[in-house]
A and B are shown apart, each in its own frame.
Chain A
């Protein structure tokens, strides 16, 4: 009896999983697009559902890290079901473009909405939202007047004060890539070497952990992305809200090149089966209404200049952005990773 019930259960699930797959092959004929994305915010889901309701075009979502998605696209070749690649930084889009995985898109809406430094020269990818990498400081122990630039963080007054995550993080890689692009390779390496000696501890945890460490007094300054502070402030966990309230935001380099920004961006894949609908979707994503959802629920800065930012973003004030071409970040990404390794970033202050 037991034997048969197990067998039955097994057979039923086998049929179930087969049925599932045959169903999906039929759907290819319908109106739909397949999106490969590194973003996994609940706000995105809301946006996708709205798009489905308004246009009747169904969105199939595959979520994984950008690197894995790029590998997947490469392997699937011309039989890939993907129409769009959405990442959380420009570097990966540049890489996808260089591997020939994306195609140029001709869209008046995209051209007119997105500022040129936030998209690819050949229109292979487009920025959707901006994030600034800023300095969060302890309101208790640091006066904002003491802060100026990323470069000034290497000064000896910040010894044992700086908190930042490990070098494997793409936001750190892009920051260093921007410093390489602006100041040159040698200066960037010296900067990295010096800032490591000012670390309060071995780099660990994520951006939120750095802010929590300020509250705990482990360090005074943390280099983090803006929207994490928004998320902490709106967290349900009181520990996180306290941590966010203990820090102030400082946008560095306002008197020279501006604060380093990165984007979350999107491109149409080379072998997209539903190109027209994919473009329709991209145009939808940069519309004023959707851009405001990004700002309101995910605390990212919109790329569409006509979109209003949320109250929280307004309270942080306007700032000057580093308008370095984002393509540069992609090109210099590997150089940044190698530099991090050379200065033993992940081993922290005592290794040198």
Chain B
């Protein structure tokens, strides 16, 4: 015991304090929810176990496996082609492959029914060229896998693209010298090297799948998330809803430990001269091979982008007179502002959490890293409850102790909403950033410390510039996530704030999908512009991902 205390005293430094403070601050909602667990299951629990639990687990597993396979196929194949070959339109296509992320999956789900359902647009086209086809049944679990995969594969694409493009020339050359074929190189060198990145992308896909509400509800698939909403709202049993969330978290912990187990103790730092660290030149493609490459890239762009966008544009032309006005532009500006502020805060929080906890030697504080990033897997609604309840106690505290009524500040500004976003999306930045900071390796930083440069200075002058690409990429991803976020925004947004995602949902929920098209397209446009901006910055920076 004494030994342990001594060790804590020895390992404790100011960074331990900072880690604990940030970790705790971000983890408040989950701690609040945990308190609920001690009240036991609710009175509808038996009903849920009897009729639903097995179905929730089965459907969630089928969805995870299905989307896992499909997104890996789509994401890695396109990333491989983009990072290794030269062909016409390459840089445009490289960029287009990110764009399906801009379409919220529930909008994609509606758009696909508009395309392939009864009287669908695409079905109509097929009928005119002579196919006798009534509709393609999409509203089942396979349809859901299809829709989710095509809206989420860019996560895998982005992370594996960054990795494929940064494999040093020396590795490729060694592999060539040893006589390895292209395929062999991919299988035994590139893929294993990229697997941590692929898996961190897949992790994000899994979290989105487990969290999807709109698409699953519309297609009539019972999942944990729809179950949680159902239990909370229809069965009026918050306790059991919290227990379902706890089970969902258990599922995530299992996935997370699989990721950890896969990564093992491998370390990916690369040493060598600048020239050796440069990545390989891309191979020029001609003739048939070009066709193959275009097919590989065309598939995800066609089904994830062009077809659904076409349907949205069609709907928008039918409804724009009613839905386009100055208010819509204001809403777009508001969405943009909120997402930008949130992204900045999330980047700061992630960096602080990663580096403070690295500099702190107290191992037990790593617990906070896990807790603080778990927000990504908890359904928005449950986070909403956690955040409202904890801010409630905060307000009561102020009322009691200082007799200050600060409730209005909380309920009429975006403070609570942005805080909830930070909790919800920390993992989106945290995981890839941590993976990349591991890739940078400790050697460089340690060299800097040896030269008597302080930790903060090393962070800003050496580590951050090396992480710039990763910061930008994960920044874009989280920015998009915030713009698209729905259930949490619905609960926590103050009356004077409106986002494009909410506007689109309001129309769709009201069974006016065609009217939802314009706000959805505005959302997609906002995201596209911000992605173009960042890609412009990267070009100016002569960065190459």
Binding site for B on A (CB under 8 A): 2, 6, 9-10, 13-14, 16-18, 20-22, 24-25, 28, 34, 40-42, 60-65, 67-68, 71-72, 75-77, 79-81, 95, 166, 168, 173, 202-209, 212-213, 215-218, 228, 231, 235-237, 239-240, 242-243, 333-334, 337-338, 341-342, 344, 346
Contact = CB atoms under 8 A, between A and B. Distances in A.
Interface in B408-458: 408-409, 411-415, 418
B385 A236 contact: no
B51, B220, B409, B507: most-surrounded residue (chain A CB, <10 A): B220
Chain B, interface size: which category?
35 or more
Contact of A346 (B119, B222, B411, B415): B222
A342 B407 contact: no
B409 A25 contact: yes
Nearest to A71: B385
25 contacts: A14-B344, A20-B414, A21-B415, A24-B412, A25-B409, A25-B412, A40-B507, A42-B322, A60-B495, A68-B233, A71-B384, A76-B388, A81-B495, A95-B236, A166-B220, A204-B139, A204-B218, A204-B220, A236-B319, A237-B514, A239-B118, A239-B120, A333-B234, A341-B51, A344-B51
B510 A40 contact: yes
A41 B510 contact: yes
A228 B395 CA distance: 43
Nearest to B139: A204
Interface in B393-410: 395, 399, 405, 407-409
B187 interface: no
A12 to B, nearest CB: 9
B491 interface: yes
Nearest to B333: A16
B2 to A, nearest CB: 46
A299 to B, nearest CB: 12
Contact of B388 (A71, A95, A217): A71
A238 B151 CA distance: 28
Given A76-B407, A168-B234, A236-B319, A208 B118 contact: no
Interface in B465-498: 490-491, 493-497
Nearest to A342: B51
Contacts of B409: 21, 25
Interface in B297-342: 315, 318-319, 322, 336-338, 340-341
Given A24-B413, A216-B135, A64 B395 contact: no
A239 B497 CA distance: 34
B514 A235 contact: yes
Nearest to A23: B496
B381 interface: yes
B388 A334 contact: no
Interface of B: 47, 51-52, 113, 117-120, 134-135, 139-140, 217-220, 222, 226, 230, 232-236, 315, 318-319, 322, 336-338, 340-341, 344, 381, 384-385, 388-389, 392, 395, 399, 405, 407-409, 411-415, 418, 490-491, 493-497, 502, 506-507, 509-512, 514, 537, 540-541
A68 B117 CA distance: 31
Contact of A79 (B220, B411, B493, B537): B411
B414 A21 contact: yes
> Is the contact region of chain B dominated by helix, strand, or loop, or is it mixed?
helix
A62 B492 CA distance: 10
Contacts of A239: 118-120
Contacts of B495: 34, 60-62, 81
A205 B139 contact: yes
State the 3 A-B residue pairs at the shortest beta-carbon distance, nearest first: A21-B413, A79-B407, A67-B233
Contact of B408 (A6, A17, A25): A25
B232 A67 contact: yes
A216 B413 CA distance: 48
Nearest to A348: B220
A216 B134 contact: yes
B491 A68 contact: yes
Contacts of B226: 168
B392 A77 contact: yes
B47, B322, B344, B507: most-surrounded residue (chain A CB, <10 A): B344
Given A34-B495, A206-B511, A341-B52, A79 B408 contact: yes
Contacts of B413: 17-18, 20-22, 24-25
A221 to B, nearest CB: 16
A151 B414 CA distance: 50
B79 to A, nearest CB: 26
A80 B232 contact: no
A282 B292 CA distance: 65
